[in-house]
Chains A and B, each alone.
Chain A
Amino acid sequence: MKTAYVLQKEIRESILTPKGFLWYILTSVILSVLSYLFLTNSELSLLDQGQMLYMIMNFITALGILVGLVFGADAFAGEIERGTMEALLLSPVTKAEVAMGKLGATLANLGILLLISLPYLLIVGKGGQNLLIGMVYLAFLATFLTIIFSAFSMGLSSRIKSVKNSLMASFFIFLLAGSPIFLSAAQRGTWFGRILDLINPFADAINTFDSVVVDGQGFVHQAGRVAIICGYLLLSLWFLERSISKQEM
């Protein structure tokens, strides 16, 4: 119940603000531009529906992760820097309840992003046979990845106690997660590239999207990658729990 009050506070503080709305408007603008290009650009419009959908899904997932990292980095370090953490810890609320409330706000934010992106997904993926199943995978994997990266970032925030430094560390993790994108197709085909792809939760998610919406493969083909993502989910929550239990002012 106390988690619900922290969640409510976080939503009011981070989402229902002019800055929050600006962020959503920006997301809509970027999605509009992307969708317009996909549908009208002479080269991009040659892509089939599945590939367009796949690219939009990657973008939405990356955006969810990014926001999760920013929310996570501010979670504990921000409260400490603003001098509000001590008052929270004085009340009979556990650090885990505070963390869950903050994680809930990150997911609420992802929910809004997914809602905003819904019409774009429907328009870009219209007529494609894997649209619905693709959207289901997007909802689940984007949620898992947002929790993973937000929980890691929140754990770092609790340990480092500085918004700036935990944000930098979190972005470094984000770049590491995105590293397979910088590899060429040939490099990704090598044993090193394949391992990097496999152990990287972000790469696992986008490869799953590719497999589902472009290649139309079933869950059996995705099970291994989804299991790895679930493993990271547990690892990130364990890291968060360890970090906040050690936290001292």
Chain B
Amino acid sequence: MINVENLVKKYDGYTALDGLNFTVEQGDIFGFLGPNGAGKTTTIRILTAIIKADSGNVLIDGHNIFQEPWAIKKIINALPESTGYYEWMTAREYLEFFSHLYEEKTSREEVDRLLEIVGLQGKGGHLVRSYSRGMKQRLGIARALINRPKLLFLDEPTNGLDPIGRRDIQDLLIDLNRKHDTTIFLSTHLLDDVERLCNRIAIIHYGKIVKIGEVDRMKGKGTIEDIFFLSTKESTS
């Protein structure tokens, strides 16, 4: 589903991504781990065609992201880190606005279906500003599902949520993956999320992948937390 080769991105001389290589298979919930500033958000922004890389190659579902960004935008979607909302809209209006940008004449039933998937049924008429943080995250995920994406990027989706909110979002992601066959690229530094959700992970540090593999196999060598610390420590030294 995703094939990344030698991806490099520099900001004013600072190397954010330093020759990144990894693949994600169809149906994966792929955990993308790393400390703050490791390059997780930059990677997602490149893979979602929001920013350009300096060099390297990215194929998503067979399309080259730098040559066919519009084809890719139709099959992917994302929930960015600390995303904002048009707080003066109702949740329904918010979803309708974005569905129009996809030129999809989303019916009332379709919006209801999206609200139901994320557990916001009956709350579509409420103003977004009245929503709690967890409800806004759910709305963000509903917005990200508007084009029925094959591949969903989530940047720290459970950050700042209470344990119930986190568990709800985790359940929702498992549902999306299993029932709707959505491949999920999950960027996080919350190792609980990774243990519960992901079948494969990559650990990024200073813009390089320092560890990649299947979670079940890695667990034989210690907890995810141990592997995370060991990998980032080794790459620093």
Contacts and interface: CB of A to CB of B under 8 A. Distances in A.
A88 B73 CA distance: 11
Interface of B: 45, 48, 50-52, 70, 73-74, 77-78, 80, 82-86, 88, 97-98, 100-103, 140, 143-144
Given A9-B86, A82-B84, A86-B83, A92 B70 contact: yes
Contact of B100 (A2, A12, A249): A2
B70 to A, nearest CB: 6
Contacts of B86: 9, 13, 84
Nearest to A5: B100
Given A9-B86, A83-B84, A249-B45, A93 B101 contact: yes
B96 to A, nearest CB: 9
Interface residues of A, number: 20
A248 B103 CA distance: 25
A92 B101 contact: yes
A92 B74 contact: yes
Contacts of A86: 45, 50, 78, 80, 83
B136 to A, nearest CB: 11
A91 interface: yes
A83 B82 contact: yes
Given A5-B100, A90-B78, A90-B144, 5 more contacts: A12-B88, A83-B82, A84-B84, A87-B80, A91-B101
18 contacts: A2-B100, A5-B97, A9-B86, A13-B86, A82-B84, A84-B84, A84-B86, A86-B50, A87-B83, A87-B84, A87-B140, A90-B77, A90-B80, A91-B73, A92-B73, A92-B101, A249-B45, A249-B50
A89 interface: yes
Contacts of B83: 83-84, 86-87
Interface of A: 1-2, 5, 9, 12-13, 17, 82-84, 86-93, 248-249
A232 B103 CA distance: 34
Contacts of A89: 50
A224 to B, nearest CB: 43
A249 B41 CA distance: 11
